[in-house]
Amino acid sequence: MLSRNNAFDLIRHIAALMVLISHHFVLSGKTEPAFHGVNSLGGFAVIAFFAISGYLITQSFTRTSLKVYAVNRIARIFPALIVCSFVMVYLIGGFFSGDGILVTARSGEALQKFLQIAAFGRANIEAVTEGFIFQESLNGSLWTLKFEFGCYVLVALALSLSIKSLVPLLVLIGFCALHIVSISVDHPIAGKVGIYTSVCIAFFVGSTLAFHQSLLGSLRSKTIMAGLGVVLIGVSVVGPAPLMLSSIGFSLFTLALGTMLNDPIIRGRFDISYGLYLYAFPVQQLLINCTGLGFYPSMAAAACVTVLLATLSWFCFEKPALSYARSFRKRSMETAKA
């Protein structure tokens, strides 16, 4: 059983802010902060998200039924994503198109775009981003959600066959092999495959450690695990497969640090990290391109606005959805006992 004395919620909030800072450089046409060319600040933050998810989600699956697991995962991802998609397509898109919200609401094209984004599709709304410094997407952060949800499904499929510690390790090895192949071939999509597999590797590092919690048990073992993570990150600078090594290393470091520290402030009270992740990118796009604010003032303003939107998302949509999921789990347990 996972100890509640950890700092995973705190780390997720810090990681969300790291993504905001990292993206602000890109969206402003500047070079994104990176660690010796191995990975960006935002890239490491995403690795932390996936590692923590893999660790916690795997334990969630082993403690609940498949139906409860599915309800929990859907409740965590989709309500907030659907609302964010509505805001981007109908509110922001309607305003920038000049048609207004009411006209946009009757548009079949807008509906198609809304459903596409809500189903992890490309979040590009040309009417908004035309003329922006970064025109490729109104919300480029959303690409990770399809892979995170895919990892949720893969964990469920793999562990439905056999709940054994070897299963997530084998999946991890498979993603490592695929990553090595991707960086060994000259193909247009090889670079993207390398990035995609690196986040899946982080998830299944966490998933594997969920079956070996003794490695994160004592302070000594946590310190060793954190040290190993630092070593792998260091080796990634000069060694082969730098993205894979840094992903494994930072995952180990994140999980060791998360179980080593205790967060008495955020844990169990609120979690706006997902809302921060959803809304930061579009808020930054608008503030950078539609105001006269400088680089750092626009970053500070984006952080403030995003925190407000994430807080509204948490209390109005995410928390009620999670409360429903908890009540569903309770009813399922009572039915099973009857």
SS (H, E, C) 185-221: CCCCCHHHHHHHHHHHHHHHHHHHHHCCHHHHCCHHH
pLDDT of residue 338: 63
Q: Which tokens go with 70?
A: 């599915």
Mean pLDDT over 307-318 rounds to 98
How many other β-carbons are positioned within 10 Å of the β-carbon of residue 109?
10
CB 100 within 8 A of CB 94: yes
Per-residue confidence band for 1, with pLDDT thresholds at 50, 70 and 90: very low
pLDDT tens per residue, range 327-337: 999 998 887 77
Q: Does position 22 have pLDDT exceeding 70, yes or no?
A: yes
Q: Does position 319 have pLDDT exceeding 80, yes or no?
A: yes
- 265 DSSP assignment: S
**Coil, helix or strand for 34?**
strand
| pTM of the predicted structure, to 2 decimals | 0.95
pLDDT of residue 5: 79
Q: Does position 207 have pLDDT exceeding 90, yes or no?
A: yes
Q: What is the mean pLDDT of the chain?
A: 93
Q: Tell me the CA distances in angstroms from 75 to 37, 68, 70, 72, 319, one per residue in order.
A: 37, 10, 8, 5, 9
Q: Which residues of 141-167 are buried (b: 16+ CB within 10 A; e: fewer)?
A: bbbbbebbbebbebbbebbeeeeeeeb
Residue-range domain boundaries for the chain: 8-337
Portion of the chain with pLDDT greater than 90, in percent: 81
DSSP 94-138: HHHHSSHHHHHHT-HHHHHHHHHHHTT-----HHHHTTSSS-S-S
pLDDT tens per residue, range 163-177: 888 999 999 999 999
pLDDT of residue 37: 84
Per-residue confidence band for 3, with pLDDT thresholds at 50, 70 and 90: low
pLDDT tens per residue, range 232-280: 999 999 988 999 999 999 999 999 999 999 988 888 789 999 999 999 9
pLDDT tens per residue, range 64-109: 999 999 999 999 999 999 999 999 999 999 888 877 776 777 888 8
Partners of 40 in beta bridges: 34
Tokens 């969300």 belong to residue: 16
pLDDT tens per residue, range 49-58: 999 999 999 9
DSSP 139-183: -GGGHHHHHHHHHHHHHHHHHHH---THHHHHHHHHHHHHHHHHT
How many other β-carbons are positioned within 10 Å of the β-carbon of residue 323?
11
How many Å apart are CA 92 and CA 79, to the nearest integer?
19
pLDDT of residue 4: 64
